[in-house]
Structure 1
């Protein structure tokens, strides 16, 4: 930037914090307004009775290029899941994993009956094919649904329903597999190239690290501050915020999609939501679901879609006398269910998967009902997503809705928005 400019960033989620830090490092005078009491947006954590509870079940793929660029992964003190998953149904549990990354699972995966032998061979071929593609090519070219993509590759119905539907139901919040195949390809590659992990202090540690580095660069982060209106003027931008009017040379709108659409009037911002409901549970210390740090996938139902032994993966998430589990439910219906109704569904699923055990001690702690967990990503949506420069005047967009719905998309969008502001000034 030729001279010090004033830039306001609306929103202290991952995208906004990356944009703010980069702009401050380039010499801008940057102020961030965040309506919540804490930073992080959709990626945040809280403490409850000695437990660390993330806002819904979230993980970090360490192979994300933007994560490697924007984050200090070592400082996050990551705790990794074991590759693959345990496929669960009434009276039966079986491991399906990547023998190249998890050699100890070779025999279990080889004899897994939930998918065919041909499926296992095709998975290795798909892994090799995607490993050869440049990362910047994944969101280009023709598109189709994940289900159609799998069938085009020759995968069986058993593979789609018993493994991919619950596994990618957790990633895309879409067990029907109607999401764009691009999301499947990219995340499959990330799963192959790196680890799936959570910080020892919770997913909120990602935002905390970004906020600390932004403040170290000179960013002024103001929480509990709502931006009501953004107006592009001929000589800059005016904002209506808590406390009055603010003038700036440029504004980066890094809020949730619906708020961004209201503030900027950009029609191409996607506002159709994928919801999710996550419930957290306490179990007595020493309760071992014998998954060896893998998630449990429900092969029979989306109620719940998956159960995660979180404190087995990250012991720091639970106090010394307890274990922490969570269960994720997909779709609209769980949003209106009571805590006890959701807990009953989780107990019923666990009892059916572990008929030799009782789960009466399963105690629900808190429930996150998230109406807008991701924006919907049907085939072809990515070509129509907004550009950082789409708003009028010196107003810019930063959010995963300018890339694709993911932590990678959020982090990358912050970099792109900051670069656009720097180039224009």
Structure 2
């Protein structure tokens, strides 16, 4: 049984685009019944008046409840055997229309229910209309907003809502997998970037991983890019997920860790460091092969932080006393591990990811019997120094550190762990 969508408007021609594209085809194929009604058909005067001046004064006109009542009585009565009926009133003052609401309404329509969209104009519809129909036990009334802006009427919202609902109905979208992977879907993330032929266009190449044929790598890459895009553009969506998950790294994480390192190493370096030097260091010391070797080493401990299933940060502990003399001179005799890597993608710097990763790393060090952890941080990186101080590290000295053709000055910081 197919459900139906009824739209009531004083400008029925505005809804003509519903005859086009996938929605139009769904109507032709009988997958969806959409009826558009002219509100003025229920006006009772020769001028077909649907509005009047507001009580209490003020600018603009308000749509009359008697006209809307007559219209909704007939439109709803046209399918009075339908137990589930919802009246949507588009308004900037309504609840936000979301993908989850679209899915809810699609279930209603798919189950044979009726969705009525009442398109207001001017200053809106008399408030008693929504109040009256909300008292009906078989009718749900919802005021909805498609965004924080004001339009001249509800027709644009009606088009948006109808398309968002219709495309979720069985048979409307040719490849159902498209609905799973798209933005604002069940994963709660924005969609990853997509590419097609040609593989090179105006000096821009399709990422190598998408041409590799390795579906495991492709899936990991897409998940990571979806999380990255969401964190940058809509951090509020990520906030709905559970707190970041921190765990010991595995061999299969090597490429994801290398990707994080490549995208964050330069942030830990002085801004005047030549890009070639930073890239050369990453290519030699932070590639997937080197990290996979570290994961197999008994004196290396790596932890990763995941958000929505994608690796967004990692740490590396190098167990044992420091070998360099300039470090041995300043750290305590009990220093048992170096925090040699602590990288988090920049879009997560203001989240709880770094703090949770540090907490878990220090806890893991303590579990392994480490009494003191030290690290080197570039003297020009005040942001990182503040972060380490916040987590109990104190400055104990300095060291020299080579990056490519340059020698950088690091502060050495140390934190003693509880016995």
Q: Same fold (TM over 0.5)?
A: no
Whose RCO is larger (CA < 8 A, sep 6+)? Answer: 1
Normalising by structure 2, what TM-score? 0.22
Larger Rg: 2
